[in-house]
Amino acid sequence: MQDDRVKVYSYNRRRIKYIFVMVCIAATVIIGRLAYIMVLKDKYYSERADNLHERERSIKAPRGRIYDRNGNILADNRAVCSVSVIHSQIEDEEAVIDLLEKYLDKSPEEIRKKVTKEIIAVNVSEETGDMIRAAALPGIKVDEDYKRNYPYDELASKMLGFTGADNQGILGLEVSYDSVLTGVPGSINA
């Protein structure tokens, strides 16, 4: 009977040693992996973390002007703004919704739905964009954009043509000289 107890005791003791060794090996592997990530791959993961909070956004270039032979402007650009949000940067969602409701012609429900997306409004006047930008709430981005403006409205409209929502020439001179009139877009990290 005593031999059986000694065998069980010896067996349990070996089993505990085996489990202890396995736990130590697992802990060593985990600590090694953490050291590898934190020491050797720190720049890689820091850049990835920054990219979660910063996005490269494009800045549209103004389209070239079209003049008549006397130097009068027939087609020009009017500065407008695009208002967008980066949801991960918003600190006070209600303050953002209140501010956007105050300056944009949109209902609070419509703004609340769009706050989870990125673009809230386009073709907002430059003055309104400046007021929203001046509030300096985290998460709200106001980008300058350009909308084609024809000072003489319909005068020579068939010859001048027009541009689409993306400011690309659709008809007339606007499409014929699109490569000349199109500006070079830039980018910004925000």
Distance CA 104, CA 100 (A): 6
Say whether pTM exceeds 0.75. Answer: no
pLDDT in tens, 149-185: 777 777 777 777 767 777 777 788 788 778 888 777 7
pLDDT in tens, 24-46: 999 999 999 999 999 999 899 88
Q: Could you give the percent of the chain with pLDDT greater than 90? A: 12
CB neighbours (10 Å) of residue 98? 14
Helix ranges restricted to H, 36-61: 42-53
- Give the position of tokens 């501010």: 99
Classify residue 63 by its DSSP letter: P
Distance CA 100, CA 91 (A): 15
In this structure, are residues 148 and 77 in contact, taking their beta carbons and an 8 Å threshold? Answer: yes
Q: Which one of 15-19, 142-146, 161-165, 177-181 scores highest in mean pLDDT?
A: 15-19
Higher pLDDT, 33 or 88: 33
Give residue 187's pLDDT. 72
Please give the single-letter amino acid code of residue 160: L
Please determine, for residue 1, whether its predicted confidence score (pLDDT) is greater than 90: no
